[in-house]
A and B are shown apart, each in its own frame.
Chain A
Amino acid sequence: DGGITQSPKYLFRKEGQNVTLSCEQNLNHDAMYWYRQDPGQGLRLIYYSQIVNDFQKGDIAEGYSVSREKKESFPLTVTSAQKNPTAFYLCASRRGLAGGGAGELFFGEGSRLTVL
Chain B
Amino acid sequence: AQKVTQAQTEISVVEKEDVTLDCVYETRDTTYYLFWYKQPPSGELVFLIRRNSFDEQNEISGRYSWNFQKSTSSFNFTITASQVVDSAVYFCALIPIIQGAQKLVFGQGTRLTINP
Contacts and interface: CB of A to CB of B under 8 A. Distances in A.
Given A97-B97, A109-B42, A109-B43, A48 B33 contact: no
B102 interface: yes
Given A42-B109, A110-B44, A103 B104 contact: yes
Contacts of A41: 108-109
A90 B99 contact: no
Given A43-B91, A58-B103, A104 B45 contact: no
A61 interface: no
A31 interface: yes
Given A42-B91, A48-B102, A48-B103, A88 B43 contact: yes
19 contacts: A31-B102, A40-B9, A40-B111, A41-B109, A43-B91, A45-B103, A50-B102, A58-B103, A90-B43, A92-B45, A97-B99, A102-B50, A103-B50, A105-B45, A105-B93, A105-B104, A108-B44, A109-B43, A110-B43
B51 to A, nearest CB: 10
Interface of B: 9, 33, 35, 37, 42-47, 50, 52, 91, 93, 95, 97, 99, 101-104, 106-109, 111
Most chain A CB neighbours (cut-off 10 Å) among B9, B45, B50, B97: B45
B55 to A, nearest CB: 12
A42 B108 contact: yes
A42 B107 contact: yes
B78 to A, nearest CB: 20
Interface of A: 31, 40-43, 45, 48, 50, 56, 58, 88, 90, 92, 94, 96-98, 102-110, 112
A30 to B, nearest CB: 10
